Structure 1
Amino acid sequence: MADRMNESAGPGLLGLAMAAESGARPRLPLDDYVVRVPGEDAVELLHGVRDPRHGVRLGALWGRLAEALASREGDVIADLGRIGGSDTPNDLLRAADTVVMVLKPTLRQLDAARSRIDALRGLRGARGTIGLCLISDGPYRAAEVEQVLGAPVLAELPYSPADASVFSDGVQPRRTFKTSLLLRSLRCLGRRLRATASTASIDGGDVAGAFPAGVSVAGGGER
């Protein structure tokens, strides 16, 4: 992403946490730390931390960040990585209209996902939707995964390392990348998430901190 932007991505989440610690401004200065993504209309990025040792500075930020995101117009997508550890941003998970766990339909990842989904239900109560996104690299079908985990599969993405590396490692895309099955599946996932989150926002009523038409994406296993 830094290569695509052709400039520094700024201090990101860590800088925002340091600004919040100073207490100089009553409102979280979110607009000072998000950066516009070149070539995209109205898409902004707040990047996370590279050094895991910095994670301890983020704990006090999540509640204020959830409120700040809820006050912004448009959709919010937060990639929270693996959940369940002491650094899990519970305030963001509570506030999101939809939480989506990304996993492969394998025995190992289904087993790891089960306890995490139970924890999410305990954290969120009846708030919004907890859904699944499957990476199609495993022996189980979507219906079987839904039955085991008790959560709906919102989308299935193809197992396509070559195309996925364009996003993860900045690899030069092949000529057919824009029409690839991965991108078509991602667009389908986007439409499903928007519809699900919009419904959750309406049903959620006066729940405090809800992201308007927002989506929080949490990874449940290896991706």
Structure 2
Amino acid sequence: MTVTALVSTKSCGVTATALALTLASRRASLLAECDPAGGTIRAGLLGGEVNAGIGLYHLARAERTGPEALANAFASHLCHLDEAGHRKLLPGLTDPAQAAALARTWPALADVLQVMAQQAGHDVYVDAGRLALEAGHLHPVLSPAPLLYRADLVLLVVRGTEQSLALARHVIPSLRADLDEQGSGADALGVLLIEDGAFRAHQVGEALGAPVIAALPYAPDVARYLTVGGRPPRGYGRSPLLRHARTASEQIEAAAARRQVQQQYAPVVPQMPGLVQRLSQHRTEGGVRHG
């Protein structure tokens, strides 16, 4: 399966997009909420049911003990987005000040996410938040740079508006160069279009010089529910956003597969004995069901 990192230049709906893809996937799926500016799903979609004792920040201490401790902590800090446990969430930071503590944890977490994709068979989505660049490179603290470098695909989420495309044009060259120098290659970068605005997918691809891997309809009611929580809108489970998100997840998987064939790129995934078994045994109390 695939590790896909989602980023934006401004508020373009990265979290709602990542949630839609995770919830709509045909396979087991995982969303890692890794925005250094702080997570919103805990207080939003989950309605505060998951406290600060669970989540990303607690992996930093485990990582300092070693890979096995990190793998066990990772499994323990997942919560379920459905009763069956097929859709998992690693909740994000509760305080942006915690981001600095994760600087040395990101590379090890990238390994764990690759294990989840390749050995545990999950579609993995990383909510990496808003891009933060410094001197033409991903900021070492204000972005989870190693997660983008190790991802199979990095998708820049844009809207079909002139403003959104103008902002994207300025960051794409730097992001592409950084992925080429530090990551798995500039061709890991693609675009995910939110169909809000006058520009269609082929126009966006031409304007940005980057392939549009998938597109999702603009659905403010459903997006608001995924972001803020509360009562799901009428027809939520059959909404165009979730239906198109299922198609988008397949398109993302296909794009990653084509890339691996073209590059003969097969990332080395470390062995983490017991992680997959630990995940299969893990049960989180108070799991939240949506749909």
TM over 0.5: yes
2:164 corresponding residue in structure 1: 109
Distance in 2 (alpha carbons) for counterparts of 1:49 and 1:5? 13
Deviation at 1:129, TM superposition (A): 2.9
Q: Deviations over 1:78-124 (max 9, x none)?
A: 01011124311111111111111111122221121123222221122
Which stretches in structure 2 are left out of the alignment for 5+ residues?
A: 1-40, 134-138, 271-291
Q: Deviations over 1:117-153 (max 9, x none)?
A: 2222112223653221111221222212111111111
1:197 corresponding residue in structure 2: 256
Is the partner of 2:170 in helix, strand or coil? helix
Equivalent residue pairs, number? 208
2:132 corresponding residue in structure 1: 84
Structure 1 residue corresponding to 2:150, chosen from 95, 104, 122: 95
1:174 corresponding residue in structure 2: 233
Does the 8 Å contact 1:97/1:197 carry over to 2? yes
Structure 2 residue 84 is matched with structure 1 residue 36: no
Structure 2 residue 58 is matched with structure 1 residue 15: yes
Instruction: Read off the aligned partner of 1:18 and give its amino acid letter.
Output: R
Deviation at 1:24, TM superposition (A): 2.7
Provide TM-score, normalisation by structure 1. 0.81
Alignment RMSD (CA, Å): 2.5
Which stretches in structure 1 are left out of the alignment for 5+ residues?
A: 211-223
Q: Percent identity?
A: 33
Is the partner of 2:214 in helix, strand or coil? strand
2:222 corresponding residue in structure 1: 163
Cα gap change, 1:208 to 1:26, in 2 (>3 Å):
closer
Q: Deviations over 1:142-168 (max 9, x none)?
A: 212111111111222222211211211
Cα gap change, 1:40 to 1:155, in 2 (>3 Å):
farther
Q: Deviations over 1:4-28 (max 9, x none)?
A: 79554742110111322xx333432
